[in-house]
Amino acid sequence: MSITIRPLDDRVVIEEVEAEEKTAGGIVLPDTAKEKPQRGRVLAVGPGKLLDNGERASIGLAVGDEILFGKYSGTEIKVNGKEVKILRESEVLAKIVN
């Protein structure tokens, strides 16, 4: 049985991208940084942040996007044997475009 998790609000579910891919992709994430950034791939996107008028802001990320995020951001969980993280959109630093 396979299951899916759907993040709430402005949260996204991501999986970390492995070290081999990191070198190939031309991005080096320095060990000396205060909060070492990590590279990940978006698996699921929430409905967006609740605005003061009761609507929701659209999220600037889509499933499949590669991203950079802070190492200590979010909550770890294992879904169908795969380790994933639930982050808020505001914890995502940037999208990576090849």
Q: Which residues bind a second copy (CB under 8 A)?
A: 1-9, 11, 13, 24-30, 32-35, 37, 44, 47, 49-55, 57-58, 60-61, 68, 70, 75-81, 83, 86, 89-90, 92-98
Task: DSSP letter for 49, please.
Answer: P
How far apart (Å, rounded) are the C-alpha atoms in residues 89 and 73? 11
Strand partners, 83: 78
Smallest distance, a second copy to C-beta of residue 63, A: 14
Residue that the structure tokens 């759907």 belong to? 6
Smallest distance, a second copy to C-beta of residue 51, A: 5
Smallest distance, a second copy to C-beta of residue 34, A: 8
3-state secondary structure of 21: helix
